[in-house]
Chains A and B, each alone.
Chain A
Amino acid sequence: MNTTTLPDAEVLYAELVRQLRAHVTRETAIVGIMTGGAWLAERLHRELGIQPALGVLDIAFYRDDFDQTGLSRNVKPSQIPFDVQARHVLLVDDVLYTGRTVRAAMNELFDYGRPSRIELAVLVDRGGRELPIAAKYCGALLEVDPAQVLVLDRKETGTFGLSLSNSHRERRTSS
């Protein structure tokens, strides 16, 4: 574990909210990627006073590494409680890394309908992209050792924290 160099997640969150306020309307739909992205989306949804109900995606069925890693042990149902067709969607995740999770999420979203626009908001962009994907809204850019995993935690009070752990992920891989 190495948390000393990590920024305060709450500060990054405040920065993200600041960026979003200027661009997001009450009609923008917001969709979080489970699990960290969903926590973020939940708070943003409330704080930004978004009208359409909150959407969450579990991208387990859309992963491109299913053949290597198999199905996650605890898949949760995706819930998109609004009509995606012609909607402006804000996709939210905690950490942007290879871009594969976002690709999977976009694929899944399209199976619900054709959105008019998708934008991406993340708390942290740690670089290391393997796909041509970029976040429009981002709390901070961060250099992280590729051998380490950066994850978002939610405390009992509902506040966020960031932590690093060594990469021993057997059934979950790149974000």
Chain B
Amino acid sequence: MKLHIKNGRFIDPRSGTDTKQDVFIAAGHIVALGSAPADFKAGRVIDASGLIVAPGLVDLSVRLREPGFEYKATLETEMHAATAGGITSLACPPDTDPPLDEPGLVEMLKHRARSLNLVHVYPLGALTVQLAGKRLTEMVLLQEAGCMAFSQADAPLADTQVLWRALQYASTFEFPVWLRPQDGFLAQGGVAHDGEVATRLGLAGIPASAETIAIATIVQLVRDTGARVHLQRLSTARGVELVRAAKAEGLPISCDVSAHHAHLSEMDLGYFDARCHVIPPFRSGRDRDALRQGLADGAIDALCSDHAPVDDDAKQLPFAEAEPGATGLELLLPLALKWGAELKLPLLKTLAVVTDRPARILGIPAGSLAVGEAADVCIFDADAMQRVTAETLKSQGKNTPFLGTELPGRVRYTLVGGQVVFEG
């Protein structure tokens, strides 16, 4: 079906365009911008007056909980949640049960996702078998099965020799490796930032050095091996500085931050609010401010939802025993808009961290609205305020520190490959 999106404010970060122009879609692709091509007969016209027409969002960290944890969420519920959040492509880490360490499992996940025909799902393969940090996975076969990169998810990789070899091997084939930098020994037993609040609440701390030491180690191994590494979900100011320095040196390193960490700090733990039990922990206000600034000046490349749906039974426990994680798919756009507004950034820049830049990191043809590109589009009202409630969230995960708060941005249409997959 041919589609005509009219009267919208068209924002495409990749080309740097922010202008009022119509979009014409045919056969799943963008065929023209501004004026209709000859003989274009729209099967449907979407009136985007007062709305923003942007590339569909690309989310670098989404736990779909399938296979293995279907009681927390299923592929179907979470993909619907993604479309409701304007997300059209997402990367999922390999920490499913079983982990994504065999080509068959990856193919199955890809097949399941394709059959739902909603969002593009890009699995990350396990870097080591069973994520146990010992034996390398069959990366070449996993890549053929559809893995975009390789990751340990949140599983520790304590043995630096294995890490060194893994980076050597991956770089042989130019496979990117995605790592969440955390020294497993320093973080052992910790549940909160090792600072003022953890001291007051009597929670076991994770020192900031658990992150910086890991980054320093990874940066040195990147220097040695030339591997392309993406660092996931930074949490400390010092970590941002280390990445900034590595980039200045010309090393092939990129990084992201979660939308929660761009807004919250240890202070938000309040009286043991288990919804704020996340990994890595919310750190000091100074760290949070550095993350926000780093994301604005490019030291941090992308903003991700770090979507991790947790069921109530696993969350309604004393803080340390509660399972870490928060729902995020439907909050990514609102939290990006809130961040951009608070830093007084133009929308073009705000949207880049959830569209163009993550698409480049993932290496996928998305995050842009140029003629010829697949028509993955997010049409939203940037000014509408919405209250986050368990009822309005489509995700099976209802736990988020933002529950009950009002956030800007309401998605009106989400298009994947020219098909309207969400209308709100």
A–B proximity contact (CB within 8 A): no
- Interface residues, chain B, with chain A CB atoms under 8 Å away: none
